[in-house]
Amino acid sequence: MTHDEIRFGRQYLAHVSHLIDRVATEEWEAIAAAARLIADALLAGRDIHALGSGHSHMLAEEMFYRAGGLVDVRPILFEGLMLHADAPMSTCLERLPGLAEILLERHGLRSGDVLLVFSNSGRNPITVEAAETAKRHGVSVIAITSRRHSESTAARGGTHRLFEVADVVIDNGGEPGDAAIHIPGFDQAVAPTSTAVGAAIVNAIVAEAVALVVDAGVTPRVFVSNNIDVGDARNALLESRT
């Protein structure tokens, strides 16, 4: 059988679909708990914060200023932890003890807020220390991570991994190292799953949280697309009330 007949791209799509199906069953209790934390924070007038480093920062952006997403999201988007300026430096910075506390102190947290932390490995100081710092401020912490990856490695620069610190842990089911597809004749896995599955998890949490807010008799603040005719006006009104 040739590689064309095997269709490794389809294998990847099937694998991601399987992981999302798994999340809908095995991780549902954790998703529901995360949604409850977010709904309670929104009902109390608190903020939702989101942090990830490297490619995981895309999940924080997925929650921010998003069509169909919550208005009350404050992502922690520190350029040094992203990839576009200096990718190797971002790796160094996510391993730097003490940086998370500095970022969160400058960002501003209030008791009753919620912080979502995204990290496939869950082992670097930036995410573990962010979770620890947030909890000291009375902020609930939701982690989206890979338990298999975390449990297969030691904490880097500390004693805890992210899943050992967070209040709610949602396992994305990813492989250690994230890449999931093995191609005969090539000795390295390709096609990571954490972003695709993580985005599905985030939006499932948001949908459930919005439903809880509506059930409480409150109109949630949710963006619409700026690319529909009423989008600019509706979003401008929402932003004016922040």
Q: What is the largest CA-CA distance in the chain?
A: 60
The model carries a pTM of 0.94
CA atoms within 13 A on the CB side of 211: 9
What is the rounded average pLDDT of the residues 24-49?
98
- Could you tell me the two tokens for 239? 């932003």
Q: Give, as one character, the DSSP assignment of residue 175.
A: P
Q: How far apart are CA 177 and CA 120, in angstroms?
A: 8
**Taking CA 100 as the corner, what is the angle to CA 94 and CA 102, rounded to the nearest 5 degrees?**
130
Query: Quick check: 158 and 126 in contact, CB under 8 A?
Result: no
Q: How confident is the model at residue 230 (pLDDT cuts 50, 70, 90)?
A: confident
Q: Which domains does the chain have, with CATH numbers?
A: 3-240 (3.40.50.10490)
Query: Quick check: 53 and 113 in contact, CB under 8 A?
Result: no
Q: How confident is the model at residue 240 (pLDDT cuts 50, 70, 90)?
A: confident
Q: How far apart are CA 130 and CA 128, in angstroms?
A: 5
Q: How far apart are CA 83 and CA 80, in angstroms?
A: 8
Q: How confident is the model at residue 233 (pLDDT cuts 50, 70, 90)?
A: confident
User: Would you say residue 6 has pLDDT above 70?
Assistant: no
Task: Look over the chain and give the mean of its residue pLDDT values, rounded to a whole number.
Answer: 94
pLDDT > 90 fraction of the chain, expressed in percent and rounded: 88
Q: Give, as one character, the DSSP assignment of residue 174.
A: P
Q: How far apart are CA 45 and CA 235, in angstroms?
A: 19
pLDDT of the residue at 160:
94
Q: Give, as one character, the DSSP assignment of residue 24.
A: H
pLDDT of the residue at 1:
47
pLDDT of the residue at 225:
86
Q: Give, as one character, the DSSP assignment of residue 167.
A: S
**Taking CA 169 as the corner, what is the angle to CA 87 and CA 86, rounded to the nearest 5 degrees?**
5
- Could you tell me the two tokens for 87? 């990718």
Could you give the C-alpha distances from 109 to 22, 104, 134, in angstroms and in order? 33, 7, 7
Give per-residue pLDDT as tens, 138-194.
999 999 999 999 999 999 987 899 999 999 999 999 999 999 999 999 999 999 999
Say how many Å lie between the first and final Cα of the chain, rounded. Answer: 58
- Could you tell me the two tokens for 117? 């932390």
- Could you tell me the two tokens for 196? 């695709």
By DSSP bridging, strand 190-192 and strand 179-181 are: antiparallel
